[in-house]
């Protein structure tokens, strides 16, 4: 999906209405994510009034807006409303950062989180003319399995979802043995959800799409342009082709994958001990090893402190609870080794994917984050880990 093919919530909602009758509420309004929270709040309130008829005549004083979390692409807000009955209702307003549609297929995401409940016929996803998804798509199945929040409305640059009463996990949380075990158990369940439609894994489609965009950039900032010109895209292309060939030999299972399991995409209710997966914007059918290897890379955080990458023992703890949640100690050494090879080979693909993503963001995103440096950190770690991971995979495949 190119830069000129901009995702528009109103168009998507409109098509759903025409195709299947009543749709979730939609609004053409958008909220500028560059504003401070005090400046943003009146616009968010106006948006909620426009979306939900029951709130349209309420005084602004009945609304409270607060930040839940802010990543390097999205902003989550909690909106609490004191209704006429005296009850307080809360929703989550999710705002997409500017230009994120350049790297995220919003139409694929909206299929994941919207069409599943709304469509009763098959629609062609814009920009993917060959790719059809059937009527009831991912959110119906993910919600039934206990994942994610319900979609309540869409608007110009985001969506409104039901509020999850939980806190966002931290990097430190993810590596705690009990939390890691719970993530592994839930991820196994997530991967078992069957979503109708094409089951073609998207990893290499996405990586080469990112490569095409990242290799054709020009920066107005002279220093960024100078750094950009030091990058050998021929070298990266060769690395991609070599890694694609190697991972193809592993025969990793294809599952419906989250593809972005960083700490900010987990929420945890401490009182109930319940873990939630959120934000399915990169969700697609993909290789199991990529979802797990990518998750392990996220232990390093945005700072890319790869000294925090999980040790072999920590990974085996995760694998045991993923493979046999009820009897983790009965997982065979053979199965542990196979999953270790799988995850740590696809870990390399994760570095390449997000390195290229970082380059695109360095050009497109107005967010105050050093995406150019992020590219070099990810690509450097790829090169650092490549020899050992590739050698391990080849030895495993040859039985040597």
pLDDT tens-place string over residues 272-294: 989 999 888 788 999 999 999 99
CA nearest neighbour of 7 among 83, 82, 84, 114: 114
pLDDT value, residue 210: 96
317, HSE (Cβ side, Cα atoms, 13 Å) = 16
Average pLDDT of 301-313? Answer: 96
CA nearest neighbour of 357 among 305, 281, 271, 286: 281
- How confident is the prediction for the chain on average, in pLDDT? 85
CB 48 within 8 A of CB 63: yes
Average pLDDT of 136-141? Answer: 59
Bridge partners of 89? 81
Asked if the model's pLDDT at residue 8 lies above 70, the reply is no
pLDDT value, residue 380: 98
Q: Which two tokens stand for residue 343?
A: 């995850």
Quickly tell me which residue has 């949640």 as its tokens. 325
Band (pLDDT 50/70/90 cuts) for residue 108 is: low
At 43-87, the pLDDT tens digits run 999 999 999 999 999 999 999 999 987 666 678 899 999 999 999
CB-neighbour burial class of residue 57 (10 A; exposed 0-12, middle 13-18, buried 19+) = exposed
Average pLDDT of 88-112? Answer: 66
At 227-270, the pLDDT tens digits run 999 999 999 999 999 999 999 999 999 999 999 999 999 999 99
Q: Which two tokens stand for residue 102?
A: 């350049």
Average pLDDT of 210-231? Answer: 97
pLDDT value, residue 23: 64
Q: Which two tokens stand for residue 167?
A: 């806190």
pLDDT value, residue 71: 60
At 161-211, the pLDDT tens digits run 899 999 999 999 999 999 999 999 999 999 999 888 889 999 999 999 999
At 353-376, the pLDDT tens digits run 999 999 999 999 888 899 999 999
At 20-50, the pLDDT tens digits run 334 678 899 999 988 999 999 999 999 999 9
Quickly tell me which residue has 């770690």 as its tokens. 381
CA separation for the pair 392, 343 (Å, rounded) = 12
CB 191 within 8 A of CB 335: no
Q: Quote the pTM value.
A: 0.81
User: Do the bridges between strand 88-96 and strand 158-162 make them parallel or antiparallel, or are there none, so unpaired?
Assistant: antiparallel
CB 232 within 8 A of CB 376: no
């Amino acid at each position: 999906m190119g830069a000129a093919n901009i995702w528009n919530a109103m168009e998507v909602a409109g098509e759903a209405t025409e195709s299947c009758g009543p749709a979730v509420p939609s609004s053409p309004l958008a909220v500028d994510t560059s504003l401070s929270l005090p400046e943003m709040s009146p616009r968010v309130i106006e948006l909620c009034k426009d979306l939900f008829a029951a709130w349209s005549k309420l005084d602004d004083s009945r609304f409270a807006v607060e930040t839940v979390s802010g990543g390097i692409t999205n902003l989550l807000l909690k909106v609490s409303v004191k209704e006429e009955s005296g009850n307080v209702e809360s929703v989550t307003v999710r705002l997409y950062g500017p230009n994120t549609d350049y790297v995220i297929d919003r139409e694929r995401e909206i299929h994941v989180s919207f069409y599943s409940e709304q469509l009763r016929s098959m629609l062609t996803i814009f920009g993917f003319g060959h790719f059809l998804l059937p009527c009831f798509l991912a959110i119906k199945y993910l919600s039934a399995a206990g994942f994610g929040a319900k979609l309540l409305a869409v608007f110009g640059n985001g969506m409104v979802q039901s509020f999850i009463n939980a806190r966002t996990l931290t990097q430190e949380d993810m590596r705690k043995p009990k939390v890691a075990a719970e993530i592994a158990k839930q991820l196994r369940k997530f991967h078992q959800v069957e979503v109708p439609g094409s089951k073609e894994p998207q990893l290499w489609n996405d990586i080469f799409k990112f490569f095409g965009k990242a290799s054709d950039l020009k920066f107005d900032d002279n220093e960024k342009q100078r750094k950009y010109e030091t990058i050998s895209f021929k070298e990266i292309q060769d690395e991609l082709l070599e890694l694609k060939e190697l991972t193809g030999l592993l025969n990793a299972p294809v599952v419906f994958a989250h593809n972005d399991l960083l700490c900010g995409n987990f929420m945890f209710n401490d009182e109930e001990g319940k873990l939630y997966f959120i934000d399915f914007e990169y969700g697609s059918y993909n290789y199991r090893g990529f979802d797990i290897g990518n998750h392990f890379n996220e232990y390093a955080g945005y700072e890319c402190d790869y000294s925090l990458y999980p040790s072999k023992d920590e990974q085996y703890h995760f694998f045991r609870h993923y493979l046999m949640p009820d009897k983790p100690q009965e997982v065979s050494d053979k199965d542990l080794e196979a999953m270790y090879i799988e995850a740590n080979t696809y870990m390399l693909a994760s570095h390449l994917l997000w390195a290229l993503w970082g380059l695109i963001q360095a050009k497109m995103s107005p967010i105050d984050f050093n995406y150019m440096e992020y590219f070099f950190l990810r690509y450097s770690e790829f090169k650092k880990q490549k020899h050992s991971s590739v050698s391990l995979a080849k030895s495993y495949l040859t039985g040597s």
